[in-house]
């Protein structure tokens, strides 16, 4: 059974701080990893993807992948109240038709 695990939270951070969201996966064959942001009542939107070990930066967001330890993380620098949302982690396996989603971590950024 392929699984992606996330702490449901909520993770509460003050405005301006770094928010660190973590995700672990069970399938060693997983190749690609995606972070989606989902505001309450809205659909998920892709914010980051990563395929290779190491860090990938895009603006205030950094995705980190460690395939040996089977974890993926998302760092949000200078967190803003508008970052308050649920963050979904997903993985795909080469040749798989179905991404595996975690249940999401709720992030609250308070002023």
Partner 1 sequence: DGGITQSPKYLFRKEGQNVTLSCEQNLNHDAMYWYRQDPGQGLRLIYYSQIVNDFQKGDIAEGYSVSREKKESFPLTVTSAQKNPTAFYLCASREQAGVSSYEQYFGPGTRLTVT
Q: Is residue 99 a contact partner of residue 4, using CB atoms and an 8 Å limit?
A: no
Q: Return the residues of window 60-89 that contact partner 1 according to CB under 8 A.
A: 88
Among 76, 92, 107, 109, binds partner 1 (CB under 8 A): 92
Q: Is residue 3 a contact partner of residue 26, using CB atoms and an 8 Å limit?
A: yes
Q: Which among 15-23, 63-71, 76-84, 92-100 is the span making contact with partner 1, rule CB under 8 A? A: 92-100
Q: Count the neighbouring beta carbons within 10 Å of the beta carbon of residue 19.
A: 24
Q: Which among 12-20, 58-66, 72-80, 95-103 is the span making contact with partner 1, rule CB under 8 A? A: 95-103
Residues interacting with partner 1, by CB under 8 A? 8, 31-32, 34, 36, 41-46, 49, 51, 88, 90, 92-99, 101-104
């Amino acid at each position: 059974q392929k699984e992606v695990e996330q702490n449901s939270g909520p993770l509460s951070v003050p405005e301006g701080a770094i928010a660190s969201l973590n995700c672990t996966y069970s399938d060693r064959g997983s190749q690609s990893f995606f972070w989606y942001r989902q505001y309450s009542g809205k659909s998920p939107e892709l914010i980051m993807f990563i395929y290779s070990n190491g860090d990938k930066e895009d603006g205030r967001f950094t995705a980190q992948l460690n395939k040996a330890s089977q974890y993926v993380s998302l760092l949000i620098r200078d967190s803003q109240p508008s970052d308050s949302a649920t963050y979904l982690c997903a993985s795909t396996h080469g040749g798989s038709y179905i991404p595996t989603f975690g249940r999401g971590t709720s992030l609250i950024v308070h002023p």
